[in-house]
């Protein structure tokens, strides 16, 4: 049981760290002008597309790590369910409340932490991310073949 819990935590941690590092690098690469629409905190289509690719890769990594440690497909499926449920829970506030920065013009210089706090994701991405995460975890777990 402890090995399964460790596998879920390690898989989720691998996802979280890879997303944080990748998004930080992506923001440094694109800068505010490439990451956001002109004079706003709405993310650009470039950001949406690249962040979706990063999210898929991170989810696959998380599923692989979980499967590698647990060697149990059901544990990886549990991680996929956790990713789906947590993603939905985290999306609800963003979908139901108005962000205070939604109508404020973006300043020229926006630091990484400020960008994370103020970014306006399209609603479809907030709904799609948990699904992408769960499916990615499942397919990542399939990459780790079990020894016979």
Mutual orientation of helices 73-96 and 2-35 as an angle, nearest 10°? Answer: 40
CA atoms within 13 A on the CB side of 59: 26
- Helices vs. strands in the chain: H and E counts, helices first: 5, 0
> What is the pLDDT at residue 108?
67
CA 71 to chain centre: 24
> What is the pLDDT at residue 25?
95
> What is the pLDDT at residue 7?
97
Beta-carbon contacts of residue 145 (< 8 Å; ≥ 6 apart): none
Count of other CB atoms within 10 angstroms of residue 138: 20
Its pTM surpasses 0.75: yes
The token pair at 115 is 């960008």
As a whole number of Å, the CA-based R_g of the chain is 17
- Characterise 31 by phi-psi region: left (phi > 0), alpha (psi -120 to 50), beta (else): left
- Report which of 90, 77, 79, 98 is spatially closest to residue 126, judged by C-alpha positions: 90
> What is the pLDDT at residue 147?
62
The gap between the terminal CA atoms of the chain, to the nearest Å, is: 22
Q: List per-residue pLDDT tens for the chain, 148 residues long.
A: 899 999 999 999 999 999 999 999 999 999 888 998 888 888 999 999 999 999 999 999 999 999 999 999 999 999 999 999 999 999 998 888 776 665 667 776 778 788 887 788 899 999 999 999 999 999 999 997 766 5
């Amino acid at each position: 049981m402890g090995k399964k819990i460790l596998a879920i935590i390690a898989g989720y941690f691998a996802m979280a760290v890879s997303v944080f590092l990748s998004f930080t690098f992506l923001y440094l690469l694109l800068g505010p002008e490439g990451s956001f629409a002109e004079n706003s905190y709405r993310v650009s289509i470039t950001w949406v597309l690249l962040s979706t690719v990063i999210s898929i890769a991170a989810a696959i990594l998380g599923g692989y790590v979980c499967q590698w440690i647990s060697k149990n497909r059901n544990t990886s499926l549990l991680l996929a369910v956790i990713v789906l449920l947590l993603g939905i829970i985290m999306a609800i506030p963003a979908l139901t409340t108005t962000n205070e920065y939604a109508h404020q013009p973006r300043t020229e210089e926006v630091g990484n932490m400020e960008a994370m706090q103020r970014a306006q994701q399209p609603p479809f991405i907030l709904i799609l991310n948990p699904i992408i995460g769960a499916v990615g975890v499942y397919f990542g777990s399939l990459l780790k073949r079990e020894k016979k």
